[in-house]
């Protein structure tokens, strides 16, 4: 008789686990479905993409000229600043913190104002 009660308990446990998994899958499907259909979940990501794009376009116009005369395009701010030689393609940034021509340090960190 004990065998039957343990089988029943096992079945009830498996049914409970299956029900929880089904509920979790339904919740994930609903959440992903809202993103794909352009619901309210997709709006913040579009807004964020526009903000990032605008920030990149503003910083893409910045330039820096080293004391040796080498010109660089600059993107980013502070320690996230990236330099490209003026004629280099987008996939060839400067991979260090020094001028490619004269080995002078490129500005990093925050730009300081004279006192």
> What's the mean per-residue pLDDT of the chain?
78
Alpha carbon dihedral 15, 20, 21, 22, in 10-degree steps, equals 90
- Model pLDDT, residue 52: 60
Residue 4 lies in a domain: no
49-53 long-range CB contacts below 8 Å, 24 or more apart?
none
Q: Has residue 57 been placed in a domain?
A: no
Cα R_g (the chain), whole angstroms = 29
The answer to whether residue 97 sits within a structural domain is yes
Closest CA to 74 of 56, 91, 48, 96: 56
Q: Provide the percentage of residues in the chain whose pLDDT is more than 90.
A: 33
Number of domains, the chain: 1
Q: What is the pLDDT of residue 51?
A: 63
Which residue range forms the structural domain that includes residue 93? 63-110
| Residue 22 pLDDT > 90 | yes
The answer to whether the predicted template modeling score (pTM) of the entire model surpasses 0.75 is no
Per-residue pLDDT averaged across 44-66, rounded? 65
Q: Which residues contact 12 (CB under 8 A, 6 or more apart)?
A: none
**CA–CA distance, 36 with 73 (Å, rounded to integer):** 37
Residue 55 forms part of a structural domain = no
Q: What number is the average pLDDT over the span 9-20? A: 93
């Amino acid at each position: 008789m004990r065998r039957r009660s343990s089988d029943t308990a096992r079945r009830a446990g498996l049914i409970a686990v299956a029900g929880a998994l089904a509920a979790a899958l339904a919740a994930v499907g609903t959440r992903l479905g809202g993103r794909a259909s352009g619901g309210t979940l997709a709006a913040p990501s579009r807004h964020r993409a526009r903000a990032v794009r605008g920030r990149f376009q503003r910083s893409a116009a910045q330039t820096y000229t080293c004391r040796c005369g080498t010109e660089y395009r600059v993107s980013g701010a502070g320690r996230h600043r990236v330099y490209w030689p003026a004629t280099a393609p987008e996939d060839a940034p400067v991979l260090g913190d020094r001028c490619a021509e004269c080995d002078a340090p490129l500005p990093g960190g925050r730009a300081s104002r004279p006192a």
